[in-house]
Amino acid sequence: MSPELTNSYNSISPNKVFRGDEAWKDGMNYIPLICKSPLLLGKSNSTYKIRQTIYNDLKGIGINPINSELEYGCCEEDLQRISNIILEKNCDSVIAAGGGKVLDSGKLLADRLSLPCITIPLSAATCAGWTSLSNIYTKFGAFINDKSLKSCPNALIFDHGFVKSAPKRLLASGIADGLAKWYEASLTSSRSNDGFVQQALQMARVLRDQLFIDGLEAYRNAESDSWVRVAEACALTAGLIGGIGGARCRTAAAHPIHNGLTQLESPKMGLHGEVVGFGIIIQLHLEERYSKNKLATQAKGQLIKFLKEINLPTTGKELGIENISSEDLQKVSNFSCNQNSEIHLLPFKINKDVIKQAIMDNISEKTFGKLSDIKIQ
């Protein structure tokens, strides 16, 4: 038996998933079965009104929520502070309502304190509401590592009304993050003998097609059927793919490049999915050069055209890093290619010099011709 098929554990999905226009109403009535005094976690001022609605509705059914907000994100400073609040107030669960860092923080807090967790995504920007994984950052926004959790959330409530209130830029960002499932998994998992991984890979391909077909209409019209399919694809299906396929269906080069770019700790840095989308473009070029895959050239052109249609950055200049110093670019490359990076799951050798040159050429909008001259040891 193949080593990858032995001793496998998959945390595939939340125990309950409520989705649709009435998701909050239905999910709210399930919450008393889980808890009586939850911590209600949020962050952004833009989501305050929705979180206040959630708070008031919970009070109305006899639940006693304790409000708390992140100051920075999913970082130890916030995690420690809020963990103390949970213990002091004797909270019996965590309800995380917000974007990716709020959802990741809520899951991680609940995991550390062995409490139930309920996630309420307030955008379709990531699949963080679904997964048994949290990304940990510094308080300045630099990626540190990801943490596998014991389980997915006890419940996920994906209310269309809540999510539609988010700026459409967040949906576009989620589309790029969802597309990465295929572009990364197709490189790292195509030769897997694990049936779950093979099936997750095919789901990622269908997800990609769905996003290409419906993405532009969803971006333009939040009242369309396309919006429903795309928003749920980004926030729910993408998480399911990671649950079924595991780590090998999550990352290759796009996410490590994102993680490297966060080391700049720049206030101009784009949203998670925007940076991941840029990472996909760099990954496709590396695939084109070093695996001699001519289809990568076509795929890169198709992707760039689509990302532009939904107003996502496709160059370093558009991402806001056109003035990056050589020293900072080296920092990005070093982190992207550190010894623990999943970029080494690529089916061809890679090094930090190649990553550095690829980003440099993208920023200057060159044709990446110099890459072929870099030797891979």
Question: Percent of the chain having pLDDT more than 90?
Answer: 75
Amino acid at 268: K
Does the pLDDT at position 54 exceed 90? yes
* Block residue for tokens 């100051």: 71
Q: What is the rounded distance in angstroms from the CA atom of residue 212 to the CA atom of residue 210? A: 5
Q: Which CATH number fits domain 168-370: 1.20.1090.10, 3.40.50.1860, 3.30.43.10, 2.160.20.60?
A: 1.20.1090.10
| Residue 292 in this model has a pLDDT that exceeds 80 | no
What's the CA gap between 281 and 77, in Å, rounded?
34
362 compared with 118, residue with greater pLDDT: 118
Pairwise CA distance, residues 344 & 353, whole Å: 14
Under a CB-based contact definition with an 8 Å cutoff, are residues 96 and 105 in contact? Answer: yes
**Looking up tokens 């459409």, which residue turns up?**
168
Q: How confident is the model at residue 267 (pLDDT cuts 50, 70, 90)?
A: low
**Average pLDDT over the chain, rounded to an integer:** 91
Provide the token pair at 151.
Answer: 């389980």
pLDDT higher than threshold 50 for residue 374: no
Compute the radius of gyration of the chain from its Cα atoms.
Answer: 20
98 dihedral zone (left: phi>0; alpha: psi -120 to 50; beta): left
pLDDT at position 256 = 95
Q: Which residue has the tokens 């694809």?
A: 233
Biggest CA-to-CA distance, the chain: 67
- The answer to whether 16-164 and 168-370 have equal CATH topology is no
In the structure, what pLDDT confidence band is assigned to residue 296 with cuts at 50, 70 and 90? confident
Domain borders along the chain are 16-164, 168-370
Q: Indicate the range of 66-70, 186-190, 221-225, 271-275 predicted with least confidence.
A: 186-190
**pLDDT per residue over 62-102, tens digit each?**
999 999 999 999 999 999 999 999 999 999 999 999 999 99
Helix axes 352-363, 254-261, angle to 10 degrees: 80
SS3 61: coil
pTM metric for this prediction: 0.93
Angle subtended by helix axes 326-336 and 352-363, to nearest 10: 130
pLDDT higher than 90, residue 139: yes
Give the pLDDT confidence of 158-185 residue by residue, as tens digits. Answer: 999 999 999 999 999 999 999 999 999 9
Q: Which CATH class is domain 16-164?
A: alpha beta
For residue 376, pLDDT over 50 is answered with no
Is residue 5 scored above 60 in pLDDT? no
Return the structure tokens found at 152: 């997915």
pLDDT of residue 8: 63
Determine the average pLDDT of the residues in 45-73. 97
Q: Considering only CA atoms, which of 71, 138, 118, 127 is closest in space to residue 100?
A: 127
Q: Residue 317: is its pLDDT beyond 90?
A: no
Over residues 205-247, the pLDDT tens digits come to 999 999 999 999 999 999 999 999 999 999 999 999 999 988 7
CA distance 328 to 260: 10
